Structure formats: C-alpha cells, structure tokens
Structure 1
Amino acid sequence: MHEWKEIVLEVIQAVIPVIVVVFLLQVFVVSMPTSVFLQFLIGAAMVMAGLVLFLQGVQIGLLPMGEAIGAELPNRGSIFFLVFAAFMLGFVVTVAEPDVRILASQVEFASEGEISKTILITMVALGVAFFVGLAMLRIVLGVPIAYILAAGYAIVLILSFFTPENFVPIAFDAGGVTTGPMTVPFILSLGLGTVSVLGGKSSLSDGFGLVGLASIGPIIAVLLLGVMYG
C-alpha cells in the first residue's frame, strides 16, 4: 500500500503542473471552447490513472524480469547468445514503445504516407536492438563507453551529410523517443542484472550507459533510411 501512495504522489507531482499551466493559458490567453478544455481535463485524469498503473507494473513486472534475464543470460556461457538475446529483447521492447509509435504516426501523417509508419518503427527498433547488443558486448569485454559513443556519433555526423535534410531532425527525434517508459526500465534492469553476475564489474560504471548507447542506434538507422530514400 505504501508503494501505491508513493507512485500516486509522484504522478500527481508530475502531471498537476502541466494542468495548472494549461488552465492559466485557458483563462488568460487561449480561451479554447469549453468542450475542448473539458476533454483535456478528462484526458489528463485518464493519463494520471494510466501512469499510476503503468509505474506499478514497471515496479512489480518489468524491472524484476529485466534483472532476472540479465543475470541469467551470462550463465549460458556464450557471448553470442548473450548478444543475440539482448538484440531480440531490444527490438521487441522498442516495437512496444508508445513514444516510437506516436513519432512514426506523426511522421507518416506529415509526409503524407511517403515515410511508412511500419518501416520507421522497424528501422528504429533495429537501431536500438543493435546498440543494446553492442552495449552488452561492451560490458563483457570491458570496452570504455566513451570509445563507442565517440564512434557512434562520428558515424551520425558523417551520415548527416549524405541523407536528405528532412530525415536529420526525424533521426534525432527517433533517438529521443526510444528513451521512453517502456524501453528505459527494461534496458537499465537488463544491464544491471548482467553486471551483478559478472566478476570485476561495477554497477555504476558498467551497468549504466545502455540507454545512452541505445539512443544512438535509431539516429543512425533513420539516417541510413534517409540515404536509401534519397
């Protein structure tokens, strides 16, 4: 019961300021129709209820499962299996990420169907999956994260010169939306679970950084998609 109260309080603290700002804009600036404002209030209430249930689900489901999987994979004794499993998990979690689907829908709408929602989601998921697998390999081999980050963003910089201009902002937004409420808890817990069973590893220096690496993948993937479209 105590956990529920903490989550409810956390959601209220996060959402109420948004409601207050919109209310002030409604009263003093915008003056939207009453029906539209009421729809906003109903939607905000539904968002708060959904966030409470979602965060509770993360606490009792996603985080423990991610840590358990991360702790079990290295025991299989195969680096290839570890990386492949991380790749598959990164892919399916990204496909389920609501933020990714919202971005893909908006891009498809703005491009009038030229950039398919399905193709964009697939490319973003493949980008995340590749770098999640690479991040797990980094943990096992002990490669400094700075080297991979430098190489990744160097590739991003190079690709940005060869892809159409309209794909560049989409690519960076794709990197941002993958750090959403579905992907982040699972990837973080996966990394921490893996580090917990590997000797000589630090939870702080080795367990974190997976989300930062994973966010590079979608940028590169969408830029490559732009090169193909171009």
Structure 2
Amino acid sequence: MRIFTEKMKEVLASVLPVTLFVVILHFSVTPLTGMQIGQFLLGAFLVLTGLSVFLVGVDLGATPIGRHSGRVLVNTGKLPLLLAGGLLLGFLISVAEPDLQILASQVQQLTSASITKWQMVIVVSIGVGILVMVGFWRIIKQV
C-alpha cells in the first residue's frame, strides 16, 4: 500500500496543477456546465487512480525484469551485440514516435517536399539510435 501512496503523490503532482487551472478557469473566464465540470473532475480522478495503478505495476513487474535482464546482458561480455541492440532499439522507437511523424510531415509541407517525411524520420532515427548506443557504451564502461 505504501508504494501505491507514493505513486499517487507523484501523479498528483502532475495532475493537480492542470485540474486547478481548469477549475480556476471555470470560476473566472469560461464557466462550464455542472455536467461538464463534474465529468472533468471525474476524469481527473480516474487519471490519478489509473496512472497510479499503472506505475505500481511498472515498479513491481517491469522494472525488476529490466534490471535483471540488464545485469545478465552486461555480464555476458558481448559488448558489440549489446551496442547493436541499443542502436536498433533507439532507431525503432524513434521511427514509431508519433510526434516525429507529425513534425516530419510539417517539415515536408514547409519545404515543398525538398525534405520528405521519411528522409527526416530516418535521419533523426539514425541519430537517436547512435546516441542510445553511445549511452549504452558509457553506462557499461562507466565513462
């Protein structure tokens, strides 16, 4: 229960300012109907609860697996394989990033397609992959 309370405090630090801002706007600039403000407050409560439960799950399930897997991978001594994995992981995560897709589409429009969406996505993703690989190397070598 202690971990849930800690996670709830973390999430509250993010959700409360937005909630207070909307409530202040409700009472000052843009009044909402009772139904709208009620739905908003219910939604804020559900975000607080759901995100807290999710983060507890991450801490109890995924984090220990990640720590164990990381230790095992580093202890295998296969540095080139680990670095290649970091490069691939960084590249694929970046390619899948929706914000990068949107930015690349906007760049394509603004440059009249002299820089295409996929050119930008690929170049940025290669850079992210390289930097993840360098980050892995620095962590392993303690540089």
Q: Normalising TM by the smaller chain, what interval?
A: 0.5 to 0.7
In structure 2, give the amino acid aligned to 1:70: G
Q: Distance in 2 between matches of 1:33 and 1:123?
A: 48
Q: Distance in 2 between matches of 1:4 and 1:29?
A: 36
Q: Which residue number corresponds to residue 11 of structure 2?
A: 11
Q: Give the number of equivalent residue pairs.
A: 137
In structure 2, give the amino acid aligned to 1:57: G
Indicate the structure (1 or 2) with the bigger Cα radius of gyration. 2
Q: Distance in 1 between matches of 2:133 and 2:59?
A: 24
Q: Does 1:76 align with 2:76?
A: yes
Normalising to structure 1: TM-score of the pair?
Answer: 0.46
Question: How far apart are 1:82 and its partner, in Å?
Answer: 1.7
CA RMSD of aligned residues (A): 3.5
Contact preservation (8 Å) 2:4, 2:53? no
Aligned ranges for residues 115-134 of structure 1 at < 5 Å? 116=117, 124-134=124-134
Question: How far apart are 1:77 and its partner, in Å?
Answer: 1.9
* Identity across matched positions, percent: 31
Normalising to structure 2: TM-score of the pair?
Answer: 0.67
1:17-65 C-alpha deviation (Å, 9 max, x unpaired): 2211211122112335666555543442342233113211220233222
In structure 1, give the amino acid aligned to 2:78: S
Aligned ranges for residues 57-68 of structure 1 at < 5 Å? 57-68=57-68
Q: Distance in 1 between matches of 2:124 and 2:46?
A: 28
Q: Distance in 1 between matches of 2:66 and 2:26?
A: 43
Q: Which residue number corresponds to residue 45 of structure 1?
A: 45
Question: How far apart are 1:90 and its partner, in Å?
Answer: 3.3
Structure number with the bigger relative contact order (C-alpha 8 A, sep ≥ 6) is: 1
Q: Distance in 2 between matches of 1:27 and 1:122?
A: 47
**Higher percent of residues as helix:** 2
Structure 2, unpaired ranges of 5+: 110-115
Task: Say if 1:139 and 1:51 are closer, same or farther in 2 by CA, change over 3 A.
Answer: same
Q: Distance in 1 between matches of 2:23 and 2:120?
A: 35
Question: How far apart are 1:81 and its partner, in Å?
Answer: 1.0
